[in-house]
């Protein structure tokens, strides 16, 4: 795994690391619905978040586009964190949230077939005939369908999808704030620096641990590489060991 991390500077003076914690509403009780989602269909994103009873549409004030969904519990926690961040001069914006199996399949197959160019303009159908190598190139930027944490409704991408943006100025101020405060609201950075394998560091990607940690443990016990199927290139999942290296290859702090 290649790390794109940049050396952090000291927190900006405007970032307050001593919070006045905003309380997450008491009616949002994770355990009430958690047992119902501990199944492979949920883990693999084989459902429609727009009709799932545990999901809610994200209000436009929090997102850069309409029509995105999150789990209700994760959303309430995010809104509490958002208010705290705004009080500290930090404006979080959701760029990506829930993507189910079908949404991820569209992204993956577009890149696999060459209909959608890879970041940098590469057409993988022309440059990379070996299936494992082609899959590995896609995994630098996109998850394999059935293996993405974005299936779960717990994970969101904030503000900018390039690590260099998070390494200076407003981006670094925001990242420093999240490092100090996100855990107060249950959020953790799953793709951190220094892991032995899996996705590159993603400073923008944060996960709601009260739900996602339980789902990660369920995936560890029940999800197998051979179950990742139903899309172009799915035969590469066992070759790559997609479950161990990409589903489970996360920051250990996000599973506690």
Q: Does domain 31-254 have CATH number 3.30.1380.10?
A: yes
Which residue in 208, 205, 92 sits closest to 159, CA to CA?
92
What's the confidence (pLDDT) of residue 70?
Answer: 98
Spatial CA neighbour of 47 closest among 94, 104, 96: 104
Q: How far apart are the first and last CA of the chain?
A: 23
Q: What is the pLDDT of residues 158-198, one digit of tens each?
A: 999 999 999 999 999 999 999 999 999 999 999 999 999 99
The predicted structure's pLDDT at residue 169: 97
Instruction: Compute the CA torsion angle 65, 71, 76, 81 (nearest 10 deg).
Output: -70
Residues 11-54 pLDDT 10s: 333 333 333 445 555 445 566 678 889 999 999 999 999 999 99
Structure tokens at 73: 């519990």
- pLDDT value of position 36: 87
Mean of the per-residue pLDDT values of the chain: 90
pLDDT reported for residue 165: 97
Please give the pLDDT value at position 76: 95
241 has a pLDDT exceeding 80: yes
Q: What are the structure tokens assigned to 167, written together?
A: 């390494």
What is the mean pLDDT of the segment spanning 57-79? 96
Whether residue 6 is predicted with pLDDT greater than 90 in this model: the reply is no
Percent of the chain with pLDDT over 70: 88
Helices marked H in the chain = 31-34, 40-43, 72-87, 101-113, 124-127, 131-138, 169-181, 209-222, 236-240, 242
Q: Where along the chain do its domains lie?
A: 31-254
What pLDDT, in 10s, does the model give residues 205-231? 999 999 999 999 999 999 999 999 999
- Provide the percentage of residues in the chain whose pLDDT is more than 90: 84
**Is the separation of the CB atoms in 148 and 104 below 8 Å?**
yes
Query: Which residue in 115, 118, 155 sits closest to 134, CA to CA?
Result: 118
**Cα 226 to Cα 25, 223, 240, 247, distances in angstroms:** 40, 9, 11, 14
């Amino acid at each position: 795994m290649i790390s794109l991390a940049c050396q952090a500077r000291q927190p900006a003076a405007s970032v307050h690391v001593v919070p006045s914690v905003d309380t997450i509403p008491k009616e949002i009780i994770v355990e009430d619905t958690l047992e119902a989602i501990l199944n492979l269909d949920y883990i693999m994103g084989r459902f429609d978040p727009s009709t799932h009873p545990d999901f809610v549409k994200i209000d436009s004030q929090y997102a850069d586009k309409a029509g995105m969904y999150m789990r209700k519990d994760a959303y309430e926690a995010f809104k509490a964190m958002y208010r705290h961040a705004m009080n500290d001069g930090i404006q979080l914006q959701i760029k990506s949230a829930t993507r189910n199996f079908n949404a991820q399949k569209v992204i993956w197959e577009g890149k696999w077939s060459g209909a959608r160019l890879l970041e940098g303009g590469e057409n993988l159908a022309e440059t990379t005939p070996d299936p494992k190598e082609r899959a590995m190139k896609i995994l630098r930027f996109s998850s394999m369908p059935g293996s993405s944490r974005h299936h779960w409704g717990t994970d969101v991408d904030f503000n900018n999808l390039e690590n260099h943006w998070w390494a200076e100025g407003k981006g670094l101020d925001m990242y420093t704030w999240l490092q100090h405060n996100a855990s107060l609201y249950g959020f953790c950075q799953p793709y951190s620096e220094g892991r032995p394998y899996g996705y590159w560091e993603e400073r923008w990607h944060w996960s709601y641990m009260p739900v996602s940690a339980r789902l990660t443990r369920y995936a560890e016990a029940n999800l197998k590489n051979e179950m990742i199927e139903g899309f172009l290139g799915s035969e590469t999942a066992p070759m790559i060991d997609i479950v161990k290296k990409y589903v489970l290859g996360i920051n250990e702090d996000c599973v506690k």
